[in-house]
């Protein structure tokens, strides 16, 4: 039962922790995804909404966790997991939207952008002298793919007529399939596809448009470079640790399909996820928490162009969906947390987004 509880609580607890930390990851000029001038980042309404938001997430989160524990005893595991994850979203969304609404209302009422020169900034050196991709950090994930494939090839001649491909949450095998090349090496194919996708996305992110501060373009460009490298390293470590989990599953499958404790599979994934979250907190959105002049602990370099970042809230729906038909960028920095999102106003971005969503379904259909 302890392992069942661990599996059931993993998603909700991780989600609640990330949601509680979400405002910490964001730029100070993007509280709850609302663009505000630097002169108003300490506005009382922002501090008050942050306190209310975190109190609500903490209090309601305790209720969700207690309910998840109870549901583990009362309902089938998939149903309990689905209800718990839905509850996390149901708890978060009203608190988030309320904070946005209150900050936006004060921003409009007090005219925070009145009389300010607004603009956008670009740094062409990010194209002409791009960040060097940390290829060595991709090596562990790639080597683990190779190691899993080699082990599979060595074990294949001695495999039994059927293979265990699934374990219940108690760790007992509960599903088998006939032994074929496809069934024996499915996890290897998944490893390779996932690693290629993550490495490819991290490599491509070097060329994604950054969200530079028009008031301090040089400093924010420097921060962006540090952010890109740190994020790529964290995601590549996560990829390697996920491959460790898949190697463990594959070995158990090839070794007779004995008991497979859920904790053994989840622990590497949990460690990798913690590293990504830790990196996001350390760097901040777009590197906003990194030193702007390259000297650790030196703080933000003094720079002021006299222009504030353009108020572009009209292009964002609930701070998550970006639609701007006049913007040629396919991917833009997220308003919430770390990473990038699609410009749903760009047909090429929509096509690429659909391809990324369909890739796992196509792979599953091919390997079935």
Strands 173-178 and 321-322: unpaired
365: pLDDT strictly greater than 80: no
pTM score above 0.85: no
Residue 162 backbone phi and psi in degrees, to 5: -125, 155
How do residues 332-349 score in pLDDT, each as one tens digit?
888 888 888 889 888 887
pLDDT of residue 364: 58
- The Cα 256–Cα 167 span in angstroms is 13
Q: What is the DSSP letter of 167?
A: E
124: pLDDT strictly greater than 90: no
How do residues 60-89 score in pLDDT, each as one tens digit?
999 998 888 888 777 777 787 788 889 999
Assigned token pair, 247: 């190697």
How do residues 144-190 score in pLDDT, each as one tens digit?
999 999 999 999 998 989 888 877 766 678 788 899 998 899 999 99
Q: Which residues contact 158 (CB under 8 A, 6 or more apart)?
A: none
pLDDT of residue 149: 95
pLDDT of residue 292: 76
pLDDT of residue 295: 44
Site of tokens 């259909």: 365
């Amino acid at each position: 039962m302890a392992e069942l509880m661990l599996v059931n609580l993993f998603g909700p607890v991780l989600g609640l922790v990330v949601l509680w930390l979400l405002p910490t990851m964001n730029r100070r000029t993007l509280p709850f995804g609302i663009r505000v001038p630097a002169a108003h980042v300490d506005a009382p309404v922002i501090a008050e909404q942050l306190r209310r938001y975190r109190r609500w997430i903490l209090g309601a989160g305790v209720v969700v966790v207690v309910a998840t524990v109870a549901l583990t005893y009362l309902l089938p595991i998939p149903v309990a997991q689905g209800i718990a994850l839905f509850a996390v979203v149901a708890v978060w969304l009203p608190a988030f939207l309320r904070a946005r609404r209150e900050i936006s209302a004060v921003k409009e009422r007090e005219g925070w952008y009145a009389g300010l020169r607004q603009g956008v900034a670009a740094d062409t050196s990010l194209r002409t002298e791009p960040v060097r991709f940390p290829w060595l950090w991709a090596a562990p994930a790639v080597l683990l793919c190779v190691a899993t494939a080699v082990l599979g090839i060595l074990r294949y001649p001695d495999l039994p007529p059927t293979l265990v491909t699934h374990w219940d949450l108690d760790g007992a095998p509960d599903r088998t399939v006939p032994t074929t090349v496809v069934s024996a090496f499915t996890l290897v194919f998944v490893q390779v596809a996932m690693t290629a996708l993550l490495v490819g996305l991290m490599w491509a992110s070097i060329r994604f448009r950054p969200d530079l501060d028009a008031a301090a373009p040089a400093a924010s460009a420097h921060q962006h470079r540090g952010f890109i490298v740190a994020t790529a390293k964290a995601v590549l470590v996560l990829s390697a640790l996920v491959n460790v989990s898949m190697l463990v599953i594959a070995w158990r499958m090839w070794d007779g399909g004995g008991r497979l404790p859920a904790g053994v599979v989840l622990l590497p994934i949990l460690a990798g996820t913690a590293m990504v979250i830790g990196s996001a907190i350390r760097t901040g959105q777009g590197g906003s928490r990194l030193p702007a002049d390259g000297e650790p602990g030196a703080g933000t370099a003094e720079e002021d162009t006299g222009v504030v970042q353009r108020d572009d809230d009209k292009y964002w729906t609930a701070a998550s969906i970006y639609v701007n038909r006049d913007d040629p960028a396919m991917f833009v920095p997220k308003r919430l947390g770390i990473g990038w999102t699609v410009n749903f106003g760009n047909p090429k971005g929509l096509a690429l987004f659909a391809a990324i969503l369909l890739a796992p379904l196509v792979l599953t259909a091919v390997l079935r």
